[in-house]
Chains A and B, each alone.
Chain A
Amino acid sequence: MSSWQWVLVILGVLLVAVAAGLSYMAGSPRDAIGMVRYALPHMHRGNLQVGSAAPNATLVALDGATTFKLRERVAGKPLVLVFGSFT
């Protein structure tokens, strides 16, 4: 085999190994694809650190109409923020 063919073989083996590893990590090949396509673009560390001023995002109440600023809920006590979704 020429050196180019060897490079292709090695790249192919590496690709299969990465795919297998991701599938194992995610639980299945379908989940691995989902993770790469939908999770990785959205997961990041962000810029906030301990000591940063908390961003004052505008949120909507459960009535769907009332809005409030996040920092309005800081009222003389620590405020625990629980970010998440249903699924």
Chain B
Amino acid sequence: MQLFDDYKDHADFLTIYVREAHPTDEWQMKSNEKDKDDVCYAQPKTLAQRVAIANDFTQRFKYPVPFGIDQMDNAANDAYAAWPERLYILDENGYVAYKGGNGPFKYDPKEVRAWLASHYGEVKRPEPAPATPEKKS
């Protein structure tokens, strides 16, 4: 997660895993079936199931961001109107400093980056090297 790498010295990050967006027993997306990594899970009915999926995710992607799992009463999800995905920034005193739009269409990490850049400066990344054209024999 590039944003985490760029600003982890200035801000803390916490990923909160909430109820599944496209489980196999609800609204499964075709893209999940076609995904080469097979992202097919039923909606967890127990905390153990939710924890298992969360661990699969973090291990599969070697996810470096600190992680928390919403309990089965979905308290965090409901309090933050998070489903299916949303970004927030809390300030140093625990107040909402930024509330992102609801995903998928209004979920925009660039807004979080802009907020962090306005407080801590922009992190410029080197442009990727252009692909070398293949030599014709």
- Residues of A near any B CB (own CB < 8 A): 31, 34-35, 37-39, 42-55, 57-62, 64, 68, 70-71, 73-87
- Residues of B near any A CB (own CB < 8 A): 3, 7, 10-23, 26-29, 32, 39-41, 47-48, 51, 53-58, 65-71, 75-77, 79-99, 102-103, 112, 116, 119
Identify the closest chain A residue to B55 (Cβ).
Answer: A62
In the complex, chain B residues whose CB is within 8 Å of the CB of A57: 70, 75-76, 79-80
Q: Tell whether A87 pairs with B28 under 8 Å between CB atoms, given A80-B89, A80-B112, A81-B88.
A: yes
Contact B70 A59 (CB under 8 A): yes
Q: Tell whether A54 pairs with B18 under 8 Å between CB atoms, given A39-B84, A46-B81, A87-B41.
A: no
Contact A64 B102 (CB under 8 A): no
Contact B15 A85 (CB under 8 A): no
A17 to chain B, nearest CB (A): 22
Complex CA gap A60/B50 in Å reads: 10
Majority DSSP secondary structure for residues of B touching A: mixed
14 further contact pairs, Cβ within 8 A, besides A44-B81, A83-B76: A35-B27, A54-B90, A60-B47, A71-B90, A71-B94, A74-B12, A77-B92, A78-B90, A80-B89, A84-B21, A85-B21, A86-B54, A86-B56, A87-B41
In the complex, chain B residues whose CB is within 8 Å of the CB of A34: 26-28
Identify the closest chain B residue to A28 (Cβ).
Answer: B30
Identify the closest chain A residue to B57 (Cβ).
Answer: A86
Complex CA gap A49/B96 in Å reads: 7
